[in-house]
Each structure stands twice: as structure tokens, then as C-alpha cells.
Amino acid sequence: MDWGKQNRMARIIKPDTGRAVWLAVDHGYFLGPTRRLEVPRRTIEPLLPFCDALFVTRGILRTSVDPNTATPIVLRVSGGSSVIGKDLSDEGITTSMRDAIRLNVAGVGLSIFVGSEFESQTLKNLAKLVDDAEEYGIPVLAVTAVGKELEKRDARFLALACRIAAELGASVVKTYHCEGFEKVVEGCPVPIVIAGGPKLETEMDVFRLTYEAVQQGAAGVDMGRNIWQNDFPVAMIKAIRAIVHENATPEVAMELYRECRNEV
């Protein structure tokens, strides 16, 4: 691997643990002002010191993130559809490599929609992005998106989508945790980070999901709503970090969450 790409990978996935906690705040690119991400700076600022990378669009990066930050950026570079439009899967690449480099990003990310009407278009987006990004040693994150069809998130589908992403050259794949997740990890030769999905009922549910995912081979999380829609987002991300980087059990994470919650 080229030095530049290896260095970027080491910035976004900790080489000592092979793990990472990324904070996803890209939701507005198709959802608009999502609950508790209405004013992105307010959501991002307190969490930024606790994430290993921030997954964000260029618009929110430029307007709402302090450029003095040391936190690496993984830039969301796909979009073009909205939650009220005809089809969420109709995405293109929305940011040039030149602009990504200008923003000094550590990685770029886009969604692929396997099994959707625009499957081929989004897979070709990925292949093109890998071609362009490899030229500059920039790792590509592929997100195995399901749009509104959340029920699609089973091991058979996710293993297929993750493997295709890796085959087309993604350096990291983001997917969902599921029953039989080991099969998804086994078939994907690049690191996997998991999304949290819509907010779960309890903190313990989030800790269990994270714990199971990393114990089954995930490199970590690229999590959004289950962190910043919580009433105590800093306590939440600290607990998630303990699970990902220290193999803390869900019970230990819960204790830590309670302690940190009392600090604020």
C-alpha cells in the first residue's frame, strides 16, 4: 500500500487495535434537519474530541466544523436524492476529488444500493470513486445502504453487498449488524464498521449491538443517531469507545455511561 494511503488508514482505524469509533453526521444529505442534528455545529462540537473520524458532507464540514480540529474527516461524496423524492437509490458522486483533497480528508465515502433500481449506477459510482481516490492514496468507504427498506438487513443480503463493495475496491465497508453477522465479516476482506440505524429503545440495546459486532469481527462503528439522539451523547460515545477499544462488556459500558452522565 502506498505510504499516503497507509497513513490515512492508520489515522481512521487505530493500528494498535485495528478498531475505530467514527461519528456519522451526514444524515442531512437526504433527510434534511434530522432530530438533534438541526444545528450541526451544536451536535458535533462536544463529540468531536471523542471520535476517531467524522463522517460528514462538505457543506457541513465547511460551515460547522472547526478547521483546527485534529479529528480526521471521512467525507460523504454521494447524494442527489431526498427522503421525499422518488427513489433514494438514485445517487451520483456529488464532490470532486479535487475538493476532497482541498478539504484535507483522510477518506471519502459513498453509498451503494445493491438490489435496487439504481444498483448498477451506484456500483459504478463506487468503481469510479476508487479509481480517482487511489490515484491520491485516499481510502474509500462504501456504505451498503438499504434506503427505506430496513427489513433488507439480513446476513445474506449484507454479505452480498459487503463483498461486492470490497471486490470493487472499497478500503472499508459500512454495514449493519445482523443475525449471523460473522458470515458477513467472513466474506468481506476489508474492515467493516457498523451503522447504528434508527435510535434503539435503550442504551443497553446499543451497547449489546456494538459489543456483538466487534466480538464478531467488526472493526468498529460509524454511528450517528444512537449517539447524538441520546440525552447524554458524550456519555454515550465514551461508553461506545470502551466497547470498541477496550472490549468492555455491555454491562461495563452501561456503568461508564451512568458515571459520565452524572458528570454533566
Would you please indicate which residues are annotated as catalytic (active-site) residues? 174
Q: Work out how close the CB of 200 gets to ligand 5RP at its nearest, in angstroms, rounded to a whole number.
A: 10
- Tell whether residue 40 is a contact of ligand 5RP (CB under 6 A): no
Out of 225, 235, 239, 242, the only residue in the binding site for ligand 5RP (CB under 6 A) is 225
Tell me which of 111, 144, 175, 210 binds ligand 5RP, using CB under 6 A.
111
Give the one residue of 108, 123, 145, 239 binding ligand 5RP; rule: CB under 6 A.
Answer: 145
Q: How many other β-carbons are positioned within 10 Å of the β-carbon of residue 156?
A: 12
Do the beta carbons of residue 86 and residue 144 sit within 8 Å? no
Measured from the CB atom, is 16 or 179 closer to ligand 5RP?
Answer: 179
Within residues 171-200, the interface with ligand 5RP by CB under 6 A covers 195-197
- Quickly tell me which residue has 442504551 as its cell: 203
d(Cα 58, Cα 48) in Å, to the nearest integer? 16
Q: Does 232 bind ligand 5RP (CB under 6 A)?
A: no
Which candidate, 244, 45, 54, places its Cα nearest to that of 141?
54
- Binder of ligand 5RP out of 19, 26, 110, 250 (CB under 6 A): 26
By CB under 6 A, name the one of 21, 24, 126, 161 that touches ligand 5RP: 24
> At 255, which amino acid appears?
E
What do you get for the CA distance between the two ends of the chain, in Å?
Answer: 43
Residue nearest ligand 5RP, Cβ-based: 224
Q: How far is the CB of 262 from ligand 5RP (least distance, A)?
A: 25
Read off the DSSP letter of residue 130: H
For ligand 5RP, give the closer residue by CB, 185 or 206.
206
127-138 as b/e: b if 16+ CB within 10 A: eebbebbeebeb
In the three-class reduction of DSSP (H, G, I as helix; E, B as strand; rest coil), residue 69 is classed as coil
Strands (E), the chain: 20-24, 53-56, 73-76, 78-79, 92-93, 107-112, 140-144, 172-175, 192-194, 220-223
The binder of ligand 5RP chosen from 37, 47, 52, 55 (CB under 6 A): 55
- Give the residues lining the site for ligand 5RP (CB under 6 A): 24, 26-27, 55, 111, 143, 145, 195-197, 222-226
